[in-house]
Every structure is written in C-alpha cells, then in structure tokens.
Amino acid sequence: MYKIKTLNNIAKEGLELFSDRFEIVDDKDVNGILLRSYKMHDMELPSSLEAVGRAGAGVNNIPIDKCSEKGIVVFNTPGANANAVKELVMAGLLLASRNIVGAIDWAKTLKDKGDEVPKLVEAGKSNFVGPEIKGKTLGVIGLGAIGVLVANAAEALGMKVLGYDPFISVESAWELDHNIKKSDTLDDLFMNSDYISIHVPLMDNTKGMINDENISLMKDGVRLLNFSRAGLCDDSSLEKALESGKIARYITDFPYDKVLNMKNVICIPHLGASTPESEINCAVMAVNEVKDYIENGNITNSVNYPECNMGVCHATSRIAVNHKNIPYMVSNITTALASKNINIIDMINKSKKDWAYTLIDVESKITSEIVDELKAIDGIVKVRVIK
C-alpha cells in the first residue's frame, strides 16, 4: 500500500482519484506528500518519500535542492489556478483605482442615521473619487500562466498593456493578445506604466525586485499590485514610496505585520487561488502527477526532475533511477544490469539542470541485490522498483 500525507486541505475531488493501492495517512514514513502553502523547509524528509505534489504554482515553500539530492521529485500544477488569480487581480486593479475599500468603510459609518443617509451619501461621495482604468497603461511583469491572462483581460477592459518576460514560453507567447506591447527592459516598463502587476516566482534573482532604484523610475502615483509573493518587494523601499505618494496604492495578496501598518495598502488574505474551481483543478492535477510517478515512474510537471513518460509497464519489471546529471551514469547503470544478465527492453534517460532520471523496463525480476548494486553507484540518489 502506498502512503500519502496531506499537509494542507486538498480537495476531495483530487484525493478520490487515488486507487485502492493508496491510503491517506498521518504517518512520517510516507511515499508521497500533497500540500498547498505549508512551509516544508524545516521538515525532516523521510527516506521513504518519493514525490511531493504542490497543488498550486509557487514552490518557494518546498526545499527543492534538498529534495533533488534525496531523489524526491517535486511536482506543481502549472496554470491550474491561473484563472482564479486573474479574476482577483482584475478586482485588484479596480480596488487600486476607485477607493472602493475606503468608500465602503465610510458607508458603514452611516448606519442608523435614518432618512439622512441618502443626503449624507451624496455629500460625502466626492471624497472617494478615483480614476478609470480604461486608456491607462498596465505593466505586467512575468508572462506565464497568470501574467498572460491578466494582460489579455486588462486589454479587453480598454487598458494599454506592456509585458516584460525575458524567458517567455512559446505557449504563453501564442496566448498573448496581439495588442500587448513587449517591453524590452524592465526599466522601460517601470517608466511607462500607470499600474504595475507582478507575476513572477519568488527566487533568489527576483527577491526584492521592487526596490528604491526601480521605484525611482516609476511614474508618480503609480499603483502596484502584488499577487505573487511578499518577498518580491523590498519592505523599506515600499514603505518610503507609499509614505511619499510615489506609489499611490499597493494591493497585495500577502499581508504581514509591517505591510499592514503601511499607508495606502489594501491587503487580501492570500485568496488568489481560493475558489472551488481552482482548488479542484489543482488537487486533480497534483494527485494525477503523484499517482503516475509512484505507480508508473512517469514524470509530468516536475520542477526539479525532467519530464519522462513510458506509460504503464507491460514488461516483467520497471526500475526508476534518480541520479546526478554527470557522465557515465547510463553506462554504469546498464553495465550493472548486463552483469546480472538482465536484458533491457525499453529505456528513457532525461536530464534537467543538475539532475537526471532513467526509467528502464527489463525482461527479468529485479532482486534486492541488483537494487543495492545500483544504489552503490556514485551519483545515484534513489532507485525504485516500480514493478
């Protein structure tokens, strides 16, 4: 029986897809983990762990390098929550413009003022005037699953849209509305945008990408939206810019104490992916990925190991080997098998940056002696007998 542990609530529509070869348990020694935003960095990774499935996009809550070194494949669910985030970003654009939150708060103060309310409304409303988004320029940083949807939706609402993504995928480029202008540099986007929305992952090279230097290039009164991760904006730069009015409003899906105390900030409690549709999409995708990896050794949408698919095994046995992407691995593995007179009938070897994966179907039963021999090869970090 394969054991799966969930570290966050995972939609039942996903969990139900596990066959009766799987059980959801609360043990330590599990084959797979499913999670959303749970921070795994301080968690001990058991030697039994084969797969981590992030039902969502961002993987900064998972110790990817540590997982790679232990041969644990980390999956995410690209695009599965993108529409949910896009819809909230569209709301964010309007919240950034029309002082809707301030106005609603003020309207609540009129409670119990009887027949006076309509008169007070008409007298007070001029305090809450805010600009339209139509005709204004939105700069979208990161044109992946979410950025593309945001750019296209803003364009459909009459905005001019500038996009910046030096690593844009061919698929995203195909999806992008032809009216969206490419910004060759980030500086160019900062200088020409009335609204800026960030849709990049939090990584070492994107951390603090909104800082004093970049803010100084922005238009006075720019409105900034961050539905990606808190760490993309430098705290003290943000605080200064909001205080001076350089940034007129900051809308974020990632509240923390310091930002909650800043002026002109609207905080949403990380609701980007919190729709039933997105929760189901993410759970279904994550479960299918983890299940196919554990049962068949196939890898789809991993962030640390390469894509690999040999379907269901029809041979006598299948072995999966996670290893470093270094010379002689394939020859060492095949030599070890040949030395035991094991004939290979199908095989894939793929690599992704520093890590590689070899999936092999053979005509004989795999013994624990062969597994131990493979495990002893320098560079191999995990060996699994799938069948």
Ligand X SMILES: O=C(O)C(=O)COP(=O)(O)O
Ligand Y SMILES: NC(=O)C1=CN([C@@H]2O[C@H](COP(=O)(O)OP(=O)(O)OC[C@H]3O[C@@H](n4cnc5c(N)ncnc54)[C@H](O)[C@@H]3O)[C@@H](O)[C@H]2O)C=CC1
For ligand X, the binding residues (CB under 6 A) are 36-37, 56-58, 81, 270, 272-274
Instruction: Report, in Å, the least distance between residue 37 CB and ligand X.
Output: 3
**Which of ligand Y, ligand X, none lies near 283, with the C-beta cut-off 5 to 8 A by kind?**
none
State yes or no: residue 250 binds ligand Y (CB under 6 A): no
Contacted entry of ligand X, ligand Y, none for residue 165, CB cut-off 5 to 8 Å set by kind: ligand Y
φ/ψ of residue 346, rounded to 5: -155, 150
Q: Shortest approach of ligand Y to residue 142 CB, angstroms?
A: 3
Angstrom distance (rounded) from CA 277 to CA 83: 9
Q: Is 35 in the site for ligand Y (CB under 6 A)?
A: no
Comparing CB distances to ligand Y, the nearer of 96 and 383 is 96
Q: Which of 50, 165, 239, 361 binds ligand Y (CB under 6 A)?
A: 165
Contact residue for ligand Y among 54, 160, 229, 249 (CB under 6 A): 229
Give the pairing type, strands 317-324 and 380-385. Answer: antiparallel
End-to-end CA distance of the chain: 13
Q: Is 369 left (phi over 0), alpha (psi -120 to 50) or beta?
A: alpha
With CB under 5 to 8 Å by kind, the binding choice for 141 among ligand Y, ligand X, none is ligand Y
Partners of 242 in the beta sheet?
none
Question: b/e string for 74-109 if b means 16 or more Cβ within 10 A?
Answer: bbbbbbbbbbbbbbbbbebbebbbbbeeebeebeee
Among 35, 51, 141, 262, binds ligand Y (CB under 6 A): 141
Query: Under the criterion CB under 6 A, does residue 239 sit at the interface with ligand Y?
Result: no
172 touches, from ligand X, ligand Y, none (C-beta below 5 to 8 Å by class): ligand Y
Report the alpha-carbon distance of residue 291 to residue 284 in Å, rounded: 10
Residue nearer to ligand X on the CB measure, 158 or 276: 276
144 binds, among ligand X, ligand Y, none (CB under 5 to 8 A by kind): ligand Y
Among 111, 167, 170, 368, binds ligand Y (CB under 6 A): 167
Stretch that binds ligand Y, among 159-167, 244-252, 339-347, 370-378 (CB under 6 A): 159-167
Site for ligand Y in 276-315 (CB under 6 A): none
Two structure tokens written together for 107: 């309207």
Q: What CA–CA distance (Å, rounded) separates 93 from 347?
A: 50
Q: Which of 70, 98, 270, 387 binds ligand Y (CB under 6 A)?
A: 270
Task: Please give the Cα distance from 110 to 114 (Å, whole number).
Answer: 9
Between 93 and 383, CB nearer to ligand Y: 93
| Candidate segments 54-62, 95-103, 237-245, 307-315, binder of ligand Y by CB under 6 A | 54-62
CB of 294 within 8 A of CB of 50?
A: yes
Q: Say how far apart CA 238 and CA 240 lie, in whole Å.
A: 6
Q: Is 82 in the site for ligand Y (CB under 6 A)?
A: yes
36 binds, options ligand Y, ligand X, none, Cβ within 5 to 8 A by partner type = ligand X
Give 148 or 360: the residue with its C-beta nearer to ligand Y: 148
Give which of ligand X, ligand Y, none residue 168 binds (C-beta under 5 to 8 Å, depending on kind): ligand Y
| Burial category of 112 from C-beta neighbours within 10 Å (exposed 0-12, middle 13-18, buried 19 and up) | exposed
Is 272 near ligand Y (CB under 6 A)?
A: yes
Q: Which of 53, 63, 92, 144 touches ligand Y by CB under 6 A? A: 144
Q: Which is nearer to ligand Y, 282 or 386 (CB)?
A: 282
Handedness of CA 298, 80, 40, 291 (dihedral sign): negative
Binding site for ligand Y (CB under 6 A): 56-58, 78, 81-82, 85, 141-147, 164-165, 167-168, 172, 199-202, 206, 227-229, 253, 270, 272-273
